[in-house]
Amino acid sequence: MSKTGPRPGPPRLVVGAAAVLVVVTAAVVVFIAWRGLATFLVNKVHPFEFLAGVVWRPDRPAAEGGPLVGILPFLAGSVIVSTLAVAMSTPLSVASAVFVTEVAPNWGLRVLQPAIEVFAGIPSVVYGWVGLNVLVPFIRNHLGGLGFSVLAGALVLSVMVMPTIVGVAVDALKAVPLELKNAAYGLGSTRWQFIRYVLLPAARGGVLTGVVLGLSRAFGETLAVQMVIGNTRLVPRSLLSPAVTLTSGIAMDMGHTAAGSLWNNALWSMALVLLATSFLFIVVIRLVGGKGAAG
């Protein structure tokens, strides 16, 4: 009878790499929080005034009632464009995932899924350039307005987030136990009855995780949206109104500020809002994934 000693622990290189990753992540969070909180601690801007203010004029002189750093137009633009993009992309993405896994698995896995994944590797500037030269003129000529609008940004983002939602949804649908499929067909279910009443409910947690990941991807996109949304610092009143997002606002103003100024600190605070939103998405993903696994 052979004796086995204690199981060896992980190599020191692996432990060291994990420790470095944790330290770097913590350092980034602390640095962004330190710079972002300066708007409230150093410049004495009230958080409600910052989050709910509708005027962004950090360069306005004090004699004219400034400076003003309200980011509500940025928040509204980010939320509206991202939510609309995911709402448009989710039905098509889930339908594509069902087609790949159930309707035509051989052809879908060999051709359709790789074709969809190609979209994930296309640079953001390409999406923005196509939207600028094709989508914006189309909206201007057929729907009205300037063309640069919430609708243009949402349509561009809906294509960009599709590979994320499709990829996660395909993995979730493929993970459904084969026993459920055999039981459904054994009870006389048709293919579409199995998909509607068994497959999709069983994979609900994974599919919702893909949707939240797509929303997170849309919320953090910068260049493609900046090229087609119009970048007007006003709360949008319709789908054809121009708007601005948190990421595009930071990208446009970051080269015009001096370190330590209110304008610069306000941009860091906007980055802190983005970081907090990312953490919120992570929590939602964990909750949705946990409920899906428990179900």
Average pLDDT, integer, range 228-241: 92
The answer to whether residue 110 sits within a structural domain is: yes
Amino acid 155: pLDDT: 95
Q: Into how many domains does the chain fold?
A: 1
Least Cα distance to 210 among 153, 123, 285, 98 occurs for 285
pLDDT digits (tens, 9 = 90+) for 130-169: 999 999 999 999 998 899 999 999 999 999 999 999 999 9
Amino acid identity at 51: L
The answer to whether residue 164 sits within a structural domain is: yes
User: Domain containing 110: what range?
Assistant: 80-244
Average pLDDT, integer, range 177-189: 88
The answer to whether residue 6 sits within a structural domain is: no
Least Cα distance to 172 among 217, 212, 220, 121 occurs for 212
82 confidence band (pLDDT: 50, 70, 90): very high
The answer to whether residue 292 sits within a structural domain is: no
Dihedral, CA of residue 52, residue 32, residue 252 and residue 264, to nearest 10: 80
The answer to whether residue 115 sits within a structural domain is: yes
CA distance 94 to 86: 11
The answer to whether residue 293 sits within a structural domain is: no
The answer to whether residue 290 sits within a structural domain is: no
283 confidence band (pLDDT: 50, 70, 90): confident
CA angle 84, 98, 130 (to 5 degrees): 45
* 213: Cβ contacts below 8 Å, ≥ 6 apart: 164, 165, 168, 281, 285
Amino acid identity at 41: L
CA distance 107 to 109: 6
Per the structure block, which two tokens stand in for 50? Answer: 């910052």
* 74: Cβ contacts below 8 Å, ≥ 6 apart: 56, 233, 244, 245, 246, 249, 270
pTM over 0.85: yes
CATH number for the domain harbouring residue 112: 1.10.3720.10
CA distance 136 to 127: 12
The answer to whether residue 14 sits within a structural domain is: no
CA distance 161 to 231: 21
pLDDT digits (tens, 9 = 90+) for 92-134: 999 999 988 888 877 777 888 788 888 888 889 999 999 999 9
293 confidence band (pLDDT: 50, 70, 90): low
